[in-house]
């Protein structure tokens, strides 16, 4: 048949993205080699590399290319100029913020999810993905003591998005459309994403109560109660308290039972931000620390933190999934054929995103492959390591614990005066800052400072299963050598 009768037009029909199977495999194998190489050798790399904007511009800026470049050349360029200049949050001596020690099974599962590019919004488009998201969020509901039948959950990009989704749900369900008198409450230790969510929601500053935390950095229930009661007396409408199950700075846990009692009494939505600390519920110590979370209306969990998943996967759990659909469900005409049966969940009705990647796959495959016991063991090891290191600091001459290990986070500082000499607090702030600046600049460890009660301290978040006591002792030896060089007289 001629092309005239079939309608074929080689010019128009040509797919400019097509590659041969051999080419695709060569590209894929090279990438797998790189990923495995990184996973095996990360400890030998610098945990952090400081590069200026000018240097980065020089390495990467170029006009949008019209013509092709061989893939391997592009890959080498990316490897050399992007990965080598980046911090490695999976490095055993990356102690700052919340490290990201992801696991290889999830990494591969995520590649699979990308390769098949399932649309994980609608049941009709990907019932397997929807079923897996139901299964895995049900696992989490059960783990956190939420009701599984009425409860619901969905995966989102991270903790910030889970907090926003929860807060919008709270507002819609408690206040409806008129929220001009609504007021929200949380402690001054609460993650910045919560305040940002309030801004996104259009809450005014005078609708936000940031309560000063107590001496252990928890939300003080009396102060909260007084503020709520005063607001109610003034004709305002308290509608949301955000409690913490592991603050980012010191991993403090708010008094969740007491917050719940207050919330029930005043018909306030209780949300718990367990983005950091949530995974600790897997072991007895963590479960005891997080007690009361099971009573919340919603909770944020962040599997790309202590559940060892690669970015981006956060999770929102709610006691009553109807609260989510009641808040987010819309019915555009062009999606009317996707609605399906009532029990066939369309996750796009549960949150903000319509098009969603298949986040459940990596969580599912890693838990299935390693077993939950491996996750539990790793978390228990981290809790034990933090305790052991805390003891080492306590026993040392030059170092002082500022906040003791909580959920594997501790803060400490150089302070020989705690035991002998007479350096002033301001001196100590400068010295500790200098120690952190230098160890980061030299790329020996990522050990940033934070402020605790206005004092500059060093903060460690020890959730990486690769981190050992030897890493910690070698980091301390490096810091001690800086002290000897710079501050002893």
Binding interface with ligand PLP (CB under 6 A): 98, 158-160, 163, 191, 193, 248, 273, 275-276, 302, 314
Comparing CB distances to ligand PLP, the nearer of 94 and 276 is: 276
Q: Least separation, in Å, of the C-beta of 218 and ligand PLP?
A: 14
Comparing CB distances to ligand PLP, the nearer of 280 and 345 is: 280
Q: Least separation, in Å, of the C-beta of 316 and ligand PLP?
A: 12
Q: Least separation, in Å, of the C-beta of 97 and ligand PLP?
A: 7
Cite the DSSP H helix spans in 275-424.
284-289, 321-328, 360-370, 372-395
Comparing CB distances to ligand PLP, the nearer of 159 and 286 is: 159
Comparing CB distances to ligand PLP, the nearer of 189 and 478 is: 189
Q: Least separation, in Å, of the C-beta of 163 and ligand PLP?
A: 6
Q: What is the DSSP letter of 46?
A: -
Residue whose entry in the numeric block shows the structure tokens 């309608």? 7
Q: Least separation, in Å, of the C-beta of 313 and ligand PLP?
A: 9
Q: Least separation, in Å, of the C-beta of 190 and ligand PLP?
A: 8
CB 457 within 8 A of CB 450: yes
Alpha carbon of 404 to those of 170, 252, 392: distances in Å?
34, 10, 12
Cis omega (within 30 of 0) for bond into 312: yes
Comparing CB distances to ligand PLP, the nearer of 134 and 275 is: 275
Q: Least separation, in Å, of the C-beta of 302 and ligand PLP?
A: 5
Comparing CB distances to ligand PLP, the nearer of 273 and 289 is: 273
CA angle 326/315/141 to nearest 5° reads: 80
Q: What is the DSSP letter of 212?
A: P
Q: Give me the phi and psi of 425, to 5 degrees please.
A: -60, -40
Q: Which residues contact 308 (CB under 8 A, 6 or more apart)?
A: 101, 102, 103, 106, 366, 375, 378, 465
Comparing CB distances to ligand PLP, the nearer of 193 and 353 is: 193
- Among the listed residues 466, 422, 162, 415, the one whose alpha carbon sits nearest the alpha carbon of residue 308: 466
């Amino acid at each position: 048949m001629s092309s005239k009768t079939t309608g074929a037009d080689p010019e128009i029909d040509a797919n400019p993205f097509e590659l041969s199977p051999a080419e695709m495999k060569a590209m894929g194998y090279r990438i797998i080699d790189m990923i495995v190489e990184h996973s095996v050798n990360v400890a030998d790399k610098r945990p952090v590399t400081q590069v200026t904007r000018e240097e980065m511009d020089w390495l990467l800026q170029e006009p949008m290319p019209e013509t092709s470049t061989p893939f391997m050349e592009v890959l080498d360029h990316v490897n050399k100029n992007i990965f080598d200049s980046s911090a490695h949050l999976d490095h055993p001596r990356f102690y700052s913020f919340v490290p990201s020690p992801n696991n290889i099974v999830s990494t591969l599962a995520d590649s699979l999810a990308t390769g098949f590019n399932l649309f994980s919004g609608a049941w009709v488009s990907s019932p397997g993905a929807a079923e897996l998201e139901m299964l895995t969020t049900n696992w989490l509901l059960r783990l956190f003591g939420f009701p599984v039948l009425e409860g619901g959950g969905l995966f989102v990009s991270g903790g910030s998005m889970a907090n926003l989704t929860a807060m919008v749900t709270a507002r819609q369900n408690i206040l409806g459309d008129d929220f001009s008198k609504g007021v929200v409450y949380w402690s001054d230790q609460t993650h910045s994403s919560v305040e940002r969510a309030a801004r996104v929601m259009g809450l005014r500053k005078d609708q936000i109560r940031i309560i000063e935390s107590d001496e252990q950095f928890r939300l003080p229930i009396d102060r909260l109660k007084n503020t709520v009661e005063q607001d109610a007396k003034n004709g305002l409408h308290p509608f949301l308290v955000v409690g913490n199950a592991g603050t980012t700075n010191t991993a403090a846990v708010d008094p969740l039972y007491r917050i719940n009692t207050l919330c029930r009494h005043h018909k306030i939505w209780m949300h718990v931000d367990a983005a950091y600390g949530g995974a600790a519920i897997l072991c007895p110590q963590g479960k005891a620390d997080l007690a009361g979370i099971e009573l919340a209306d919603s909770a944020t969990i962040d599997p790309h933190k202590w559940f060892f998943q690669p970015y981006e996967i956060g999770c929102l759990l709610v006691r009553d999934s109807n609260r989510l659909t009641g808040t987010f469900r819309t019915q555009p005409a062009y999606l009317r054929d996707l609605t399906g049966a009532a029990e066939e969940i369309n996750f796009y009705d549960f949150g903000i995103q319509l098009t969603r990647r298949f986040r459940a796959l990596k969580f599912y495959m890693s838990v299935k492959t390693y077993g939950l016991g491996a996750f539990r063991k790793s978390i228990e090891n981290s809790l034990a390591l933090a305790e052991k290191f805390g003891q080492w600091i306590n026993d040392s001459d030059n170092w002082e614990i500022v906040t003791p290990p909580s959920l594997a986070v501790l803060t400490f500082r150089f302070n020989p005066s705690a035991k002998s000499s007479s350096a002033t607090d301001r001196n100590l702030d400068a010295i500790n800052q200098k120690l952190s600046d230098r160890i980061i600049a030299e790329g020996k460890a990522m050990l940033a400072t934070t402020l605790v009660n206005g004092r500059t301290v060093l903060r460690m978040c020890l959730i990486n299963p690769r981190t050992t006591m030897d890493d910690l002792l070698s980091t301390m030896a490096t810091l001690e050598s800086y002290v000897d060089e710079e501050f002893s007289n």
